[in-house]
Each structure stands twice: as C-alpha cells, then as structure tokens.
Amino acid sequence: MAVKDIRSQLGVLVAFIAQVIATDTTTTGAIIDTADNDLGLMFAIDCSDYTDGTYTMLIEESDDSGMSGSTVVAGDQLIGTLPVIAAALSEGDAMETVGVISTKRYVLPSLVSASTSTGATLSIIAIQKAELAPVA
C-alpha cells in the first residue's frame, strides 16, 4: 500500500475555542491568515451539551489583519452552505463544514446565536491546504 501523508499538506488551527454560548449574540472567533494557502480554507464546527438555540455561521474577509473594512463572504465564494447548528453532535458524527474561497487575505468566522436561554458548547476548527507542501 502506498504511503499517503495528509498531515504535511494540511494546516489545522483553532478558529473558535470551545465555549458555551447561552445568549442571542454574535460570537467571533480568531482571524485566520490565508497567506501561502492558495488552495482553500475549510471550517468545521463541533457542538456539544446542546440544550437550545440555533447557531448560524458568519464568515467575513478583509485585506487588513485587524479586519478593518471587512465584508461578508459572498455565497458564490462558499463550497457548500453556511452551517446552521440546532443539535449536538454524537460521537462518530460528521461535523458541519463549509469551504471558503476568499478573495482577501484574512478570514474571520463567527457564530450568530438565536432563541438561546441555556445554549450549547461550540467550537470551530480551520483547515487549510497549502499550494506548496509541507504546511509550516
């Protein structure tokens, strides 16, 4: 069997550390720098301890590292649709994912929560594939 090395070709970052969201708000994650990762970016969302609420992903992009002048990523720049979380994941379940083809260097994921009272614990992982492997 051929040896296949996926680890050296993907970069995995914490974009949104696991936290309880128990109010109707927009909770922002980390700004992801897409420099040297011309082949795309994917976000995966995990949800546990769900009791109520709906959590919709929002993705913004900017050429400024502080996200000044950011705009919402257009639908035609998405691979798939923006995830909407309304239940916890069980062990072995596939995470909700969306791919992003950004036209800007920096990307910021957020979760917009609605109808929450006790909420859920959510996290987002960013996965990048470099044009030139290995990923630093």
Residue 4, pLDDT > 80, answer no
Residue 50 lies in a domain: yes
Residue ranges making up the domain that contains 122: 11-129
Q: Please report, for the domain that includes residue 69, its CATH number.
A: 2.60.120
The pLDDT of residue 118 is 95
Mean pLDDT over 58-83 rounds to: 96
Residues 6+ apart with CB under 8 A from 24: 53, 113, 114, 115, 116
**Predicted model pTM:** 0.89
Q: Does 42 reside within a domain?
A: yes
Tell me if 100 is assigned to some domain: yes
Task: Look at the chain and report how many structural domains it folds into.
Answer: 1
Q: Residue 114: inside a domain, yes or no?
A: yes
86 in a structural domain: yes
pLDDT tens digit string along 76-135?
999 999 999 999 988 888 899 999 999 899 999 999 999 999 999 999 999 998 665 555
Q: What percent of the chain has pLDDT over 70?
A: 92
Q: Is residue 63 part of a domain?
A: yes
Q: Is the peptide bond before 134 cis (omega within 30 degrees of 0)?
A: yes
User: Which pLDDT does position 135 carry in this prediction?
Assistant: 56
